[in-house]
A and B are shown apart, each in its own frame.
Chain A
């Protein structure tokens, strides 16, 4: 069990959560909660894998995955924005629909294991020489990991320091105000649900083409989409906090696997080594940890005045008082 390997692996697997979480943060910043992340990730993972298997081009697979997940997200957008239905129930419905579609279209993909090319891994020349950090962040990672490093500050900058970002925040905080100033609330909400879908698709493709390659039905994502929805609350809709949460989660997932390796832990007999069945309790940890993170996030949200986008979950109807 090597701490550096665990951290490096945390960065790699955390990248999946990172894209999904920031994507959901975009949608929620615009006021639309999309609980369909898990389903959209499955769509992404499936279509990336299927297209790559057919064309032998993982980049094409990635692109199709983003569009497919973005497209399916519009089902939720239509129901939640235009039909003004409850976003919770609509998101759940999207989940069923997307999971169903990916299972149907993913039929038979599992057996293709060795004939599907992956996205490239590489080591960043100079940066990987930095002690400790180089090993964790820049050594033999998937290209999706490096894109993630660039993506996070860009997303933060976009939200907080640009005109479209300001409009995004306004639409999620006070859509009526945005509307009176000519900002097209519905269009923006559709757009950011689409962005959330694209990023969920990217997250799914990152799994199936890079981090843990292959298609294993619903087990491909194994609940990471739901963890992402939870992480958004912990992240307070901020990309940097999302990155921190995602990498920590990734490291935890790896720790859970690696902790069973050594026969002693901190000088004591390692119970996980001597009884492998205890692994079931280890497997609970990421999920239990999500709940803990939610408690932390919720307490913080109660304390701080700015946090949840004020109009999150509320349909916007022009001319209705209040919002």
Chain B
């Protein structure tokens, strides 16, 4: 029996009441209520760490709540595993795709099902999957292997996987984070066509404009609590939502002082490099960054951004082209030499690349100057100097940690990023390459990071900001380059978001301008 809300006649497919979920040291969901009506797109809005994904992981059976009840189609449920949730018709598309790269689309769709029993008759299932794909306009080749697909196609496989299992509730966790503007449009079309066919969708996001675009209703979470439950999207403004999300008025523009750009610090000419798989990732990138400016690099994830950052820092072999830093050749030079010349890199991956998880805060902040006076003396690391240095940074950057001997794996994301920034900025770099410096941080921490970057700009550093968040690029950068498939599509000075969007999908600036004239 479906539960019918007596006041307005809507059918609730899902209703969650008083959900409590704890993680060691955090209360991720504190008495959360949530309702999902049939045929709606319900946005779940909140900052990073607000508890959106946790709540939906409870619904999808990945976590077990410590309190509260969940009802699906009027029945009380308590999922012990994602499989039980899927059997009840609830499917989740995770932010990190849950696809096995070496297997085909069909294999991924069939994974975990009871049928086929033993022998895989792939060609038969290929056809079956093709049919469902047609029905919802999800174009993808069932025989292709996952690693051969674009990110957008992989997302379609994820949706297909859930549809094949007969899911009528689809949870999309930050689905647009990895997509180009045109792909986002296509995704929204698919989502709308699914609601028309009776499916209900939870759309998790922290991006206000998308929520305004796609959702029928919105529930806002803040620090694990609901601040607004199921308001009609058409009845609310973007500013209201922002306030509900953050708990205070948000300034959308960052204060940016005028700084005159100085000499060219970084100049890249026709740079080519391969990715880890040995396939071309950079196909002739040229760009320039001057003293006292922040230059943004926009692009959908996986178009060569991380390879560019690594090549600039000397971590990846440049096959062709030239990198010049402070008018000295820096092509394929040892990483150490780059560090000495004042190149600093804030890596995208804080835990995998940026820090050594089991070492102390002290050991992590001296990573780049352990062999330099005053910390490095002859053969030894002067531990007194190192401790002094770490304590200073802890104060200056407000790193919240019981003491500097603590292993950094125990730090929160924001504090970990402060450790990295403290290390990178304190070396007074002349060129700073920041890759996704605010990803996964809460609003307070984001503001802090952005202020630090702007302060560096005023101090005369040249900053290359690589980000997938267009809003961030627009508010911080003086100029923006757009990268697509390892090539620079063009450069925008006025923050023209339409042009950036078109370039992100592979149209060159010249082509756009030619069309504009014609």
Q: Do chains A and B touch in the complex (CB under 8 A)?
A: yes
Which listed residue, A170, A178, A319, A321, touches B96 by the CB 8 Å rule?
A321
The stretch that binds B, out of A87-95, A118-126, A158-166, is A158-166
B120 to A169, Cβ gap below 8 A?
no
Whether B82 is near chain A, meaning CB under 8 Å from some CB there, is yes
B119 neighbours in A (Cβ, 8 Å): 161-163
B83 at the A interface (CB under 8 A): yes
Q: Are B101 and A310 in contact (CB under 8 A)?
A: yes
The answer to whether A182 touches B112, judged by C-beta atoms less than 8 angstroms apart, is: yes
B63 touches A180 (CB 8 A): no
Task: Confirm or deny: A258 has a beta carbon within 8 angstroms of a beta carbon on chain B.
Answer: no
In the bound assembly, the distance between CA atoms of A322 and B147 in angstroms comes to 16
Note all chain A residues with C-beta closer than 8 A to B393: none
Do the beta carbons of B100 and A174 come within 8 Å of each other? yes
Stretch of B103-111, B298-306, B395-403, B488-496 with 4 or more beta carbons under 8 angstroms from chain A: B103-111
- Known: A177-B97, A178-B100, A305-B147; 8 extra A-B contacts, CB below 8 A, are A162-B119, A167-B112, A180-B62, A180-B98, A181-B86, A182-B83, A319-B63, A321-B96
User: Of residues 87 to 129 in B, which have CB atoms within 8 Å of A's CB atoms?
Assistant: 92, 94, 96-103, 107-108, 110-113, 116-120
Determine whether B253 belongs to the interface, using a CB cutoff of 8 Å to chain A: no
The answer, yes or no, to whether B277 is at the interface (CB within 8 Å) is: yes
CB distance from B172 to the nearest CB of A (A): 14
Determine if B277 and A162 form an interchain contact, defined as CB atoms under 8 angstroms apart.
no
- B197 in contact (CB, < 8 A): no
The list of the 3 closest CB pairs from A to B, nearest first, reads A182-B83, A181-B112, A177-B98
Residues of chain A contacted by B182 (CB below 8 angstroms): none
Nearest CB in chain B to that of A303: its residue: B278
Q: Do the beta carbons of A173 and B100 come within 8 Å of each other?
A: yes
Question: In the assembly, what is the distance between CA of A181 and CA of B110, in Å?
Answer: 9
Q: Which of B62, B81, B94, B120 contacts A166 (CB 8 A)?
A: B120
Chain B residues with CB under 8 Å of A183's CB are 111-112
Residues of A within 8 A of B117 (CB): 163
Q: Report chain A residues within 8 Å CB of B118.
A: 162-164
* Number of interface residues, chain B, beta carbon within 8 A: 35
Main secondary structure of the interface of B (DSSP, over half): loop
- For A174, list chain B residues within 8 Å (CB): 98-101
Instruction: Out of A163, A170, A306, A310, name the residue touching B116 (CB < 8 Å).
Output: A163
Q: Tell me whether A179 is interfacial, beta carbon within 8 Å.
A: yes
List 6 A–B pairs whose Cβ atoms lie within 8 Å, in order of A's numbering: A169-B100, A180-B92, A181-B82, A182-B86, A303-B278, A310-B101
CA distance A161 to B101 in the complex (A): 17
Contact residue among A162, A178, A322 (Cβ-Cβ distance under 8 Å from B111): A178
Task: Known contacts A161-B119, A163-B118, A182-B81; decide if A170 and B111 are in contact (CB<8 Å).
Answer: yes
Residues of A within 8 A of B60 (CB): 180
In the complex, which residues 173-219 of chain A have their Cβ closer than 8 Å to any Cβ of chain B?
173-174, 176-183
Nearest Cβ distance between residue B473 and chain A, in whole angstroms?
Answer: 25
Q: Does the CB pair A166–B110 fall under 8 Å?
A: yes
Q: Nearest-CB distance from A38 to chain B (Å)?
A: 30
Known: A180-B82, A181-B83, A183-B112. A305 touches B98 (CB 8 A): no
A169 x B82 contact (CB < 8 A): no
Are A318 and B62 neighbours in the complex by a CB distance under 8 Å? yes
- Which B residues are within 8 Å of any A CB, using their own CB? 57, 60, 62-63, 81-84, 86, 92, 94, 96-103, 107-108, 110-113, 116-120, 147, 161, 277-278, 352
Q: Provide the bound-state CA to CA distance between A31 and B120, in Å.
A: 22
A residues bordering B, Cβ < 8 Å?
Answer: 161-164, 166-167, 169-170, 173-174, 176-183, 303, 305-306, 310, 318-319, 321-322
Chain A's nearest CB lies how many Å from the CB of B88? 12
Given contacts A169-B100, A179-B82, A182-B112, contact A162 B62 (CB under 8 A): no
Are B94 and A180 neighbours in the complex by a CB distance under 8 Å?
Answer: yes
Cα–Cα distance between A321 and B99 once the two chains are bound (Å): 14
Name the residue on A nearest B84 (C-beta).
A182
With A162-B118, A182-B112 as given contacts, are A173 and B101 in contact (CB-CB < 8 Å)? yes
Distance of A173 Cα from B99 Cα, bound (Å): 9
**Cα A183 to Cα B83 with chains together (Å):** 8
Q: A166-B107, A174-B100 are known contacts. Are A161 and B83 too (CB-CB below 8 A)?
A: no
Does A166 lie within 8 Å of B82, measured CB to CB? no
Name the CB-closest residue of A to B82: A180
Find A177's partner among B99, B120, B352 (CB 8 Å cutoff): B99
> Once bound together, how far apart are the Cα atoms of A182 and B100, in whole Å?
14
Q: Chain A residue with minimal CB distance to B54? A: A319
Max chain A CB contacts within 10 Å: which of B92, B100, B277, B352?
B100
A28 to chain B, nearest CB (A): 14
User: Which residues of the partner chain B approach A173 to less than 8 Å between Cβ atoms?
Assistant: 100-103
* Nearest chain A CB to B350 CB, angstrom units: 11
Distance between Cα atoms of A319 and B86 in the complex (Å): 18
Query: CB < 8 Å: which of B96, B97, B111, B147 contacts A181?
Result: B111
Q: How far is the CA of A167 from the CA of B103 in the complex (A)?
A: 11
Give chain A nearest CB distance to B216 CB in angstroms: 27
* A162 nearest CB neighbor, chain B only: B118
Q: Which residue of A lies closest to B63 (CB)?
A: A319
Query: What is the bound-complex CA distance between A177 and B102, given in angstroms?
Result: 13
B83 to chain A: which residues have CB within 8 Å?
A: 181-182
Write the chain B residue with the least CB distance to A182.
B83
CA distance in complex: A163, B83 (Å): 17
In the complex the two chains form, what is the Cα distance from A173 to B92 in whole Å? 20
Contact across chains for A170 and B82 when beta carbons are under 8 A apart = no
Q: B98 and A169: CB pair below 8 A?
A: no
Neighbouring A residues of B107 by C-beta, 8 Å? 166
Does the CB pair A176–B81 fall under 8 Å? Answer: no
Taking the nearest CB of chain A, how far is it from the CB of B175, in angstroms?
16
Measured between C-beta atoms, what is the minimum distance from B115 to chain A in Å?
8
Which of A161, A166, A177, A322 has the most B CB atoms < 10 Å from its CB?
A177
Q: Which residue of B lies closest to A322 (CB)?
A: B96
Taking the nearest CB of chain A, how far is it from the CB of B320, in angstroms? 22
Which residues of B are found within 8 Å of A177, using beta-carbon distances?
97-100, 108, 111
Contacts of A170 in B (CB 8 A): 100, 103, 111
In the complex, A316 Cα to B13 Cα: how many Å?
33
> Which residues of chain B are near A180, meaning CB under 8 Å?
60, 62, 82, 92, 94, 98
- Residues of A within 8 Å of B97, CB to CB, are 177
In the complex formed, the residue of B with least CB distance to A165 is: B120
Residues on A with C-beta less than 8 A from B102 are 169, 173, 306, 310
Q: What is the bound-complex CA distance between A163 and B84, given in angstroms? A: 20
When distances are taken between beta carbons in the complex, the residues of chain A under 8 Å from B81 are: 182
| Most B Cβ at <10 Å: residue of A162, A174, A176 | A174
Closest to A171 in B: B100
CA distance in complex: A245, B264 (Å): 58
Structural contact, B62 and A167, CB atoms closer than 8 A? no
A176-B147 contact given A166-B120, A170-B111, A183-B111, CB 8 Å threshold? no
Kindly list chain A residues whose C-beta atoms are within 8 Å of the C-beta of B352.
Answer: 322
A271 CA / B294 CA spacing, docked (Å): 74
Complexed CA–CA distance, A54 and B63 (Å): 52
The answer to whether A176 touches B98 (Cβ under 8 A) is yes
Given the complex of chains A and B, what is the CA–CA distance between A310 and B62 in angstroms? 22
